[in-house]
Structure formats: structure tokens, C-alpha cells
Chains A and B, each alone.
Chain A
């Protein structure tokens, strides 16, 4: 039973993995990395070690997530 399910799947010819050219990845990589790092900074560090916005609201609002995601909080 199990074999009859498995064998047709493995029999299907799987195409060899095609690389995405590095040239096509780089612009996305730069953009996503910058955006991702900004998000992670605001979740993990703003109004802690450094402060771009005055006050403590961002720190207090993300407090539990900051502790539980492993960032140093205070």
C-alpha cells in the first residue's frame, strides 16, 4: 500500500534545481535586508541602548516580545 503510493511519486522525473542568477537576487536582497533590519531594530533595540524617538513608549510596547525573542531589554 505504502509502496504503491510512494513509487509513482519517485518515478516522476524531477527537474534539476535551476539557480536564480545572483544578478536577479541582489536588488531584492539589499531592499529586504535593509527593511528587515529596520523592523528588527525597532522591535529589538529602539529606546533601549539607542533612542531615535524620545520617550519609552516603543520600549514598553514591545517589552514582552523583546524579552522573549532574546534581545537585551533593560
Chain B
């Protein structure tokens, strides 16, 4: 990956008038960014898997035990996929694809943000885009519709819960993008610190109102252990935090390195 950047920049690094401007323009191609985003997404997914196995799977297992103990219906449904496969190949596939998808979309968001957020360089831009992406795609939806282990949630409401969840992701993205646009407009008038503070407060207020007016169809069965629910949700949040932190820090480090060459 890094070597392809170098060969790309060798072609006409010496053409432009500005002493330092030629090489970075060549190093920063969409192709390089997208490939890097997807690879870093896989790395982030690998780290998230470690979190999932250490912190998440015990809670999934506890929730399934609770479900089976309280289901009460005679005879097991035939297992389409065994627990062992769900925990290993299934989990790896799901988290891996998720990491590639989020990594690719992150790279696109970085391409839009780079050079357009004041004087921020590659490393800081990547960290900021990851922070905002985490807030939009995980933070906002999680605060209203947190992850639920098996046995929590009424199967009859899966349709509306899925729609509400993806709707909340859309709201998260829209409010974060809105806050960034507002912030950029406020900077010339109020200065960077005040502009960021004002737009962050506005972002929080808009979401606080939306949380209040959106429905809450969560159905937690009676006697479901609160500790299992809490630990499961923290594990889920931890996986996402690790994935996004990897995107922000590793992608930023690699991109900064290729720009400085």
C-alpha cells in the first residue's frame, strides 16, 4: 500500500511550482485512501473481535441460558447454525464485513474532510472524523436504542425496532453533519473554540429533544439479570469504540506518514 503511493508520487512530483505541494497531492489519491480505509477497518474489526470474545460472548451465553430456562415451550427448535459456529465463523464474518464497510465509508468521509477543517493535518483530521463518526453511528443510536442481548426485545416488534434503530443512525449522521456545517460557518464570527462549543451544545440539545419524542419499544423480560444487560451493552459499546479508535488513529498515522514522504 505504502509502496504504491511512492511509485505514484514519483511520476510527476517535481512539476508543480509550490516546493512542497506536489508530492502530497499524488500521495493522497482516492484509491490509496479507500484501500487504506478498508484494510484499517479489518484491523479494527480484529481488535473488536478480541473485545467481543473476552467481554461480549459470556453475556450472550448468559442471556441464551436465561432465554432457554424461561422459554417454557416443549421441544427445542432445530438449530440452523450451531452456537460454536455463531461464536466463531459467524461472528468473524459479521464483524469483518462491518469493519470493511465502515472503514471504506470512513475513508470517503476523510477525503471530504481533509483540507476543509481549518488547518488540520491528516492525523488530526482522521482522529476528528473517527470521533464524529463514532458519535453519529454509535453514540446517538446507542443512547436511545442500546444493543440488546438475546431474550431482550419482543420478536413481534422487530420490524418497528429495526426501523427506529436505522432511523436513529440517520439522525445521528444528520445531526453530526449539521453541527459540522454550522460550526464552519460560526468560526469566522466567534472563533474556533466558541464555534465548536456552540455547535456541540446545539447538537446535544437537538438530540436530547429527539430522544424525548421518539418511542421506546424495548421489552426486557421480568427477572432478566440487570448485570448481564449492563455488561452486554458495555461490551457492545467497547467493540465499537475499539473499531472507531483504530480507524482514527491507525488510518491517521498511515496517511500522515504517506503525506510527509
Contacts and interface: CB of A to CB of B under 8 A. Distances in A.
Interface of A: 12-20, 22, 24-25, 28-29, 32-33, 35-37, 39-40, 42-45, 48-50, 55-57, 60-74
A69 B89 CA distance: 15
Contacts of B60: 64, 67-68
A28 B120 contact: no
B94 A69 contact: yes
Contacts of A73: 148, 150, 153, 158
Contacts of B119: 16-17
A57 B30 contact: no
- State the main secondary structure of chain B at its contact with A: helix
Contacts of B240: 69-70
B40 to A, nearest CB: 14
14 contacts: A15-B259, A17-B125, A18-B21, A25-B30, A29-B108, A36-B101, A61-B85, A64-B86, A64-B87, A64-B94, A67-B149, A67-B150, A68-B239, A69-B236
Given A13-B20, A20-B115, A69-B98, A36 B105 contact: yes
Interface string B108-139: 10011011100111100100000000000010
Nearest to A74: B155
A34 B201 CA distance: 32
B108 A25 contact: yes
